[in-house]
Chains A and B, each alone.
Chain A
Amino acid sequence: MSSDDHHKKEVDELSGTETTGHEWDGIKELDTPLPRWWVWTFYATIVFAIGYVIYYPAIPMLETSSAGISGITARGELEKTMAAVGAEQAVKLEQLKNTPIEKVAGQEELYRYAVAGGASLYKVYCSQCHGSGAQGAAGYPNLNDDDWIWGGSVEAIYTTIAHGVRNEDDEDARLSEMPAFGRDQILEKDVVRAVAAYVRKLSGQDHDAALAEKGAEPYADNCAACHGEDGKGNRDLGAPNLSDAIWLYGGGRDDIITQINAPRHGVMPPWLQRLGEARVKQLALYVHSLGGGEKTKTASE
């Protein structure tokens, strides 16, 4: 230690560095200065912080934070991003609105945009009833298959989505109602059972042949008008095909009897008012693309 040292700091002999002057049980600590690059970086961060506080919202106030001269806010940035995305989409949606739905498939890029958008719209608005994979459930049609109650062309699907089914909000909603043959005592109990057996025969399932024989006549009198002589159904009337392997409310004997006695009628809300024409087109094209979509029938066909 030099005698003219003002601070009387001890200098370590080995390293030539000052000690902190403290001593703990004989152990002293070197007061090694911080590396200069570190100190300058530290000063630089302070300078940066001052600039930051001035430029960005930074200081917490009672209600909100200081505004900062930049006027940047996270919410404002989100709004800008959303507006930019919206503006980009608006062009495509306008294009979609102006293109007849059956023509969209011919424009590859527009079609891809429509189907991709339809897929995400589907998850928000449709998956609650029809399932995340559009696989449906009892009472909610499977949209992947090739059996369509109201038609599987892209226009028919569009109409169904746009106006819904049996709702009271849209006067153009798909509407059909099957009489409650049992509850309203139109048919006797045993006749209902016979008709059910006949329906199972129509769809090629195992059935009581004698009972089915008895059901043929009441079927022709009461059911064929809508479901057809051969049970193929009638899409104009929303009368399901009874001769195929797909059953909305089940194809078992009891399921069919229950349905004849007191039919359940599914309801679907209209979407045109809520989503607009372009969005409904997107949904229709997506549903049509799931695998069961049918071709648009042209006049010549």
Chain B
Amino acid sequence: MTAMDDGSAVTTFSAEPVNSKENRSLYEARKRIHPKRAEGFYRSLKWVVMAATLGVYYITPWIRWDRGEYAPDQAVLIDLANARFYFFFIEIWPQEFFFVAGLLVMAGIGLFLVTSTVGRAWCGYTCPQTVWVDLFLVVERAVEGDRNARIRLDKEPMSASKFSKRFTKHAIWLLIAVATGGAWIFYFADAPTLAKDLFTLQAPFIAYATVGVLAATTYIFGGLLREQVCTYMCPWPRIQAAMLDENSLTVTYNNWRGEPRSRHAKRVRAEGKLVGDCVDCNACVAVCPMGIDIREGQQLECITCALCIDACNGVMEKIGFEHGLISYATLAEYDTNMRVSGSQRIDVAGDIVWDPASIDPEKVRPQESKLNTEFKHTGLSSFIRPRTLVYIAIWCALGLGLLAALFMRDRLDINVRHDRNPLYVVLSDGAIRNGYEVKILNMKLEPRSFRLSVAGLKGASIWLAGGQDTAGKSLKVDVKPDQLKAMKVFVRAPRSSITAQKQGFQFVVETIGGQENETYEAQFVSPEGVVK
């Protein structure tokens, strides 16, 4: 780190972009990255997002939601044992899982929308990997100091103080990791009960195992592997990059105003040469958690965390230039601005690219210290265009469809399975009896009574197994709240009403009072020879 030779307050970092394409060999061992703490708008935004996402993750299972006496009072609960999913006022049975599938489709479309407009914002702000790495970096900085202190510490031989620092850091990391794994399991059981069991060693083994596995992955991914996860393990960057187009925001080094860069701007200018805004202080490299130099252009490693924007804006402020030497910009804007800056397009190995050497600083700043007004800056136009509107439309349509389905769904259902063996039984008076397994699903959180009857089979009577003396036109079934009741049901039809060897009829279940009803198309099977 050296001060600028022209005496300005800007500090220069001897930061090497370890993951820059040129520096990265496939045969090379990993080089540690020591990201420097950044300050600015995007860093603040990231603190807020981090607080919100971590808050949601840790607090959600503790929110209570009164569902009455027949269901758990946890707002968000995945009750695997009873095969129920609770989400505030919504309760989902396994066969209604398509709601979750629908939400996943919406998340997919949402990702298309977000990526096509603001690029890899998921990676940079909300991905758990990013959030937890940020959290682990906070700990690392607090214990070992910022970038330079950490680099020094790395080089030091092991000593008591180095060991205690390392030990403290890893201990806190492990604590966070355990808390992360610990919070996960609360989504699957009553949180207060499980917490008590967990600490008194009463919880089931699977709970501890889950905490252990998630603690290990959190510690390894967030503490040890960090950027390696994004660059080598995650398929997301490849998928997301494929969804970007020339109107998607990416973190861009605006070389139309930065080049030619110089660390000795005053001296060079005094020599009558032209210089751009970039003072080559490497602040953007020093803060990068991915170890790249954004000035080399878009790279797969870039998660668009925008910390280089913050770092650069700070420097621009100090030397009295406008913000935005590094900024969120679209490729379309970049192309326009390159043209405005007088840059020429050249052919490099078959690709037409801009030649930064041909940038004319006179065109960048026609009047001293004021940027050309023809430069384009990101406005709403990159958000509202046909592609994003189509995504928004699909997204809204899906959402409305799911909402409609949610409010119109049945809270009563019936499933019927015909006995396979025997298919029919001839009774002593010549009538035919068929057996069925009938399941009535009471999906409301209150005990309800239903009337189960048979329609479309003349003279038929129905009774529950073992209750032949109650045989009649219908039977009353009590079903517990939020439960399924399975029962063996016999249906008897006199020979006179048999019109086909396989005859369709309906099971009808209705609430007593008759607000809700469901029908099931069933078959009544008779032996050969009954129908003449």
User: Measuring CB to CB, which residues of chain A are less than 8 angstroms from any residue of chain B?
Assistant: 15-17, 32, 105, 131-135, 142, 144-147, 204, 241, 244-246, 289, 291-293, 295
Q: Is the CB of B428 within 8 A of A244?
A: yes
Task: Confirm or deny: B159 has a beta carbon within 8 angstroms of a beta carbon on chain A.
Answer: no
The CA of A146 and the CA of B433, in the complex, are separated in Å by: 10
Per DSSP, chain A at the interface is loop
The CA of A142 and the CA of B419, in the complex, are separated in Å by: 15
Q: Do A17 and B466 form a contact, CB below 8 Å, given A142-B425, A241-B428, A245-B430?
A: no
Q: Is the CB of A244 within 8 A of B465?
A: no
- Count of A-B residue pairs with CB < 8 Å: 57
Collect the chain B residues with CB atoms within 8 Å of residue A145's CB: 425-428, 433
From the candidates A16, A105, A291, name the one contacting B433 in the complex (CB within 8 A).
Answer: A291
Collect the chain B residues with CB atoms within 8 Å of residue A292's CB: 425
Collect the chain A residues with CB atoms within 8 Å of residue B469's CB: 295
CB distance from B419 to the nearest CB of A (A): 8
CB distance from B193 to the nearest CB of A (A): 27
Collect the chain B residues with CB atoms within 8 Å of residue A244's CB: 428-430
The CA of A147 and the CA of B431, in the complex, are separated in Å by: 12
Task: Confirm or deny: B27 has a beta carbon within 8 angstroms of a beta carbon on chain A.
Answer: yes
Task: Confirm or deny: B490 has a beta carbon within 8 angstroms of a beta carbon on chain A.
Answer: yes
Q: Known contacts A144-B435, A245-B430; can you find 17 more A-B pairs with CB under 8 A? A: A15-B27, A17-B27, A105-B466, A132-B421, A135-B425, A145-B425, A145-B427, A145-B428, A146-B427, A241-B428, A244-B428, A245-B426, A245-B429, A289-B466, A291-B435, A291-B465, A293-B466
Task: Confirm or deny: B7 has a beta carbon within 8 angstroms of a beta carbon on chain A.
Answer: no
Task: Confirm or deny: B422 has a beta carbon within 8 angstroms of a beta carbon on chain A.
Answer: yes
The CA of A228 and the CA of B253, in the complex, are separated in Å by: 107
CB distance from A148 to the nearest CB of B (A): 9
29 A/B residue pairs, CB under 8 Å, sorted by A: A15-B25, A17-B27, A32-B27, A133-B421, A133-B422, A135-B421, A135-B422, A142-B425, A144-B422, A144-B433, A145-B426, A145-B428, A241-B428, A244-B428, A244-B429, A244-B430, A245-B426, A245-B430, A246-B426, A246-B427, A289-B465, A289-B466, A291-B425, A291-B433, A291-B435, A291-B465, A291-B468, A293-B466, A295-B469
Collect the chain A residues with CB atoms within 8 Å of residue B430's CB: 204, 244-245
The CA of A58 and the CA of B422, in the complex, are separated in Å by: 50
Q: From A136, which residue of chain B is reached at the shortest CB distance? A: B422
Q: Is the CB of A144 within 8 A of B428?
A: no
The CA of A245 and the CA of B469, in the complex, are separated in Å by: 21
CB distance from A66 to the nearest CB of B (A): 31
Q: From A16, which residue of chain B is reached at the shortest CB distance? A: B27
CB distance from A154 to the nearest CB of B (A): 11
Q: From A111, which residue of chain B is reached at the shortest CB distance? A: B466
CB distance from B529 to the nearest CB of A (A): 11
Q: From A15, which residue of chain B is reached at the shortest CB distance? A: B27
Query: For chain B, which range describes its interface: under 10, 10 to 19, 20 to 34, or 35 or more residues?
Result: 10 to 19
Collect the chain A residues with CB atoms within 8 Å of residue B429's CB: 244-245
Q: From A135, which residue of chain B is reached at the shortest CB distance? A: B422
CB distance from B432 to the nearest CB of A (A): 10
CB distance from A108 to the nearest CB of B (A): 11
The CA of A142 and the CA of B423, in the complex, are separated in Å by: 13
Collect the chain A residues with CB atoms within 8 Å of residue B435's CB: 144, 291
For chain B, residues 410 to 461, give those with C-beta under 8 angstroms from any C-beta of chain A.
419-422, 425-430, 433, 435
Collect the chain A residues with CB atoms within 8 Å of residue B25's CB: 15
The CA of A146 and the CA of B431, in the complex, are separated in Å by: 11
The CA of A256 and the CA of B421, in the complex, are separated in Å by: 28
The CA of A292 and the CA of B422, in the complex, are separated in Å by: 13
Collect the chain B residues with CB atoms within 8 Å of residue A132's CB: 421
Collect the chain B residues with CB atoms within 8 Å of residue A131's CB: 421-422
Q: From A244, which residue of chain B is reached at the shortest CB distance? A: B428
Collect the chain B residues with CB atoms within 8 Å of residue A144's CB: 422, 425, 433, 435
Collect the chain B residues with CB atoms within 8 Å of residue A15's CB: 25, 27
Q: Do A134 and B422 form a contact, CB below 8 Å, given A245-B430, A293-B466?
A: yes
Q: From A245, which residue of chain B is reached at the shortest CB distance? A: B430
Q: Is the CB of B428 within 8 A of A245?
A: yes
The CA of A17 and the CA of B27, in the complex, are separated in Å by: 9
Collect the chain A residues with CB atoms within 8 Å of residue B426's CB: 142, 145, 245-246
Most buried by A among B426, B430, B433, B490: B426
Q: Is the CB of A246 within 8 A of B466?
A: no
The CA of A246 and the CA of B424, in the complex, are separated in Å by: 13
CB distance from A291 to the nearest CB of B (A): 6
CB distance from A130 to the nearest CB of B (A): 11
Collect the chain B residues with CB atoms within 8 Å of residue A146's CB: 427-428
Collect the chain B residues with CB atoms within 8 Å of residue A245's CB: 426-430
The CA of A244 and the CA of B430, in the complex, are separated in Å by: 7
CB distance from B451 to the nearest CB of A (A): 22
The CA of A246 and the CA of B469, in the complex, are separated in Å by: 21
CB distance from B217 to the nearest CB of A (A): 16
The CA of A198 and the CA of B148, in the complex, are separated in Å by: 113
Q: Is the CB of B490 within 8 A of A291?
A: yes
Contact with A along B459-500 (1 / 0, CB 8 A): 000000110110000000000000000000010000000000
Q: From B421, which residue of chain A is reached at the shortest CB distance? A: A133
The CA of A146 and the CA of B468, in the complex, are separated in Å by: 11
What 9 pairs between A and B have smallest CB-CB spacing?
Answer: A133-B421, A244-B428, A135-B422, A245-B430, A144-B425, A15-B27, A133-B422, A147-B428, A145-B425
The CA of A15 and the CA of B28, in the complex, are separated in Å by: 8
Collect the chain B residues with CB atoms within 8 Å of residue A105's CB: 466
For chain B, residues 374 to 393, give those with C-beta under 8 angstroms from any C-beta of chain A.
none
Collect the chain A residues with CB atoms within 8 Å of residue B27's CB: 15-17, 32
Collect the chain B residues with CB atoms within 8 Å of residue A295's CB: 469
Q: From B428, which residue of chain A is reached at the shortest CB distance? A: A244
Collect the chain A residues with CB atoms within 8 Å of residue B490's CB: 291
CB distance from B232 to the nearest CB of A (A): 13
CB distance from A37 to the nearest CB of B (A): 12
